[in-house]
Amino acid sequence: MSRELRGPNEKLGTVLALAGISNAGLARRVNDLGAQRGLTLRYDKTSVARWVSKGMVPQGAAPHLIAAAIGSKLGRPVPLHEIGLADADPAPEVGLAFPRDVGQAVRAATDLYRLDLAGRRGGGGIWQSLAGSFSVSAYATPASRWLITPADGSVAREAHQVAREADAGGGPEGLPQRVGHSDVNKLREAADDARRWDSKYGGGDWRSSMVPECLRVDAAPLLLGSYSDDVGRSLFGATAELTRLAGWMAFDTGQQEAAQRYYIQALRLARAAADVPLGGYVLASMSLQATYRGFADEGVDLAQAALERNRGLATARTMSFFRLVEARAHAKANDGPACGTALKAAEGWLERARQGDGDPSWLDFYSHERFAADAAECYRDLKMPRQVQRFTEQALARPTEEYVRSHGLRLVVSAVAELESGNLDAACAAGTRAVEVAGRISSARTTEYVRDLLHRLEPYGDEPRVVELRERARPLLVTPA
């Protein structure tokens, strides 16, 4: 559906010309972005011509997808007003705030949890209305405020405060719930279970998708209850872990806009928990997303923010991971020397790590094999296939059933390295194993890795091995209607 403006949309036409995108090209990009979000769109060059020449405004998520498609070509965020679509329904601002006040922070987080669940149940909501609205600049204020003040003062909430909010319509109905450590422990157990499911089955698995509901049904009422400062710190920390997980799962399934909002709220909750390493972990997650989305410089900044506040606080293994994330961003920015320095530092920190260091539970995935896997991806981005092969061999040395998605990603990276070294047979063999693994999980990120491999294999499209691999991958790449 669409509605008509008063005359041609000259702004959209001008920006399309600036970006060098044809009508057919824009339609294709918008359809592809929609498919990544589970939307079936059938725009064509005629649709785009109507948007430009007749001023037709597409409804639903389309305006934000148009902005995202043009922004990816220009390499910067494109607001709706720049393309003459500001009259379209704006994406809600929910989840983007990083309030200074703890009470307002609780409200910002719980508002996001509620809206997200409505979106999942209704088949739309935040998941469609936010489509295409990711902007790396939205991380600037949260990161700077966290760097300036990484911990809040007292976070205690008294019963009379909760009752007053309820009377004003801003809190839970009935008697205020008194939160204890046993309530917090249940959230931590849920986070532990969710991490295991996510690693084994991907962020799109139905068990992983229960995390947003856990946040709404279990975490939100606790945040809005009453608690001492000690219990409150633990509660904010456990909820921050769950919120970061929800963001990570959204990221893994291609819901970048929802992931961004989860990450911002997770960072704010970590600040309320006075948990600086956890805040650094959230920043590292933001960095990986920014890098993945093509904003490598911002990815470096976010990783370095995680490092800066954790000097003398985080364990050696934690510091190693933060340096590794920084290396990923440097590699994507094609800065080989900076990447090498960060990798060397990450390896040094990892060598210093010892049993009994008190590593946080959320870092239990990080090992020498994980270091090698990310190092391989760094060298893939730097186009150094021999180094990719060396580190991939280390990364695949001990595959486990616990980290299925990671194993699949490593196989794709290995296939790319073999291809760039001229070993087509080995590339197809690794690719075949990767497709088999990808078929067992629900991960848009893994599917994108496979899609990239097939794109690299296009020059060898008539080779029987490549044809067979493409056929094996076809069910994986089909977008559900």
Instruction: Please answer whether residues 126 and 89 qualify as being in contact, where contact means their C-beta atoms are separated by less than 8 angstroms.
Output: no
Report the distance separating Cα 382 and Cα 388, nearest Å: 10
Least confident range from 149-163, 243-257, 320-334, 376-390: namely 149-163
What residue has token string 């994108």?
448
Q: What is the DSSP string of 148-213?
A: H-SS-S---B-HHHHHHHHHTTSS-SSSPPBP-HHHHHHHHHHHHHHHHHHHHH-TTSTTTTHHHH
Read off the pLDDT band of 443 (50, 70, 90). confident
Kindly indicate the confidence band of residue 323, based on its pLDDT and cuts at 50, 70 and 90.
Answer: very high
Question: Which pLDDT band, with edges at 50, 70 and 90, does 36 fall under?
Answer: low
Residue 125 has pLDDT above 60, yes or no: no
Residue by residue, what is the 3-state secondary structure of 19-86? HCCCHHHHHHHHHHHHHHCCCCCCCCHHHHHHHHHCCEEECCCHHHHHHHHHHHHHCCCCCHHHHCCC
* 159 vs 350: which has the higher pLDDT: 350
pLDDT higher than threshold 80 for residue 226? yes
pLDDT digits (tens, 9 = 90+) for 392-409: 989 888 766 677 888 888
Least confident of 133-142, 263-272, 340-349: 133-142
The pLDDT of residue 98: 96
Distance CA 187, CA 49 (A): 51
Residue 480: which pLDDT band, with cuts at 50, 70 and 90? Answer: very low
Across 20-24, 26-30, 94-98, 347-351, the highest mean pLDDT is recorded for 347-351
8 A C-beta contact, residue 291 and residue 283: no
In this model, does residue 465 exceed pLDDT 60? yes
Per-residue pLDDT, averaged over 285-295, amounts to: 95
Read off the pLDDT of residues 343-372 as tens digits, 9 standing for 90 and up.
Answer: 999 999 999 999 889 999 999 999 999 999
Q: Which of 452-456's residues contact partners 24+ apart within 8 Å by CB, and which partners?
A: 452/412, 452/416, 453/412, 453/415, 453/416, 453/419, 453/427, 456/416, 456/419
Is the pLDDT at 126 greater than 70? The verdict is no
What percent of the chain clears pLDDT 90, i.e. is strictly above it?
51
pLDDT of amino acid 1: 46
From the list 30, 18, 32, the residue with the least C-alpha distance to 76 is 18
pTM above 0.85, yes or no: no
Q: pLDDT at residue 199 above 80?
A: no
What pLDDT, on the 0 to 100 scale, is given for residue 176? Answer: 53
Residue with more model confidence, 410 or 479: 410
Residue 154 has pLDDT above 50, yes or no: yes
Closest CA to 284 of 268, 304, 257, 264: 304
Distance CA 449, CA 412 (A): 7
pLDDT band (50, 70, 90) for residue 90: very low
Percent with pLDDT over 70 in the chain: 85
Q: Compute the distance between CA of residue 481 and CA of residue 448 in angstroms, rounded to an integer.
A: 18
Specify the higher pLDDT residue, 165 or 412.
Answer: 412
Do the beta carbons of residue 214 and residue 242 sit within 8 Å? yes
Is the pLDDT confidence value at 67 over 80? yes
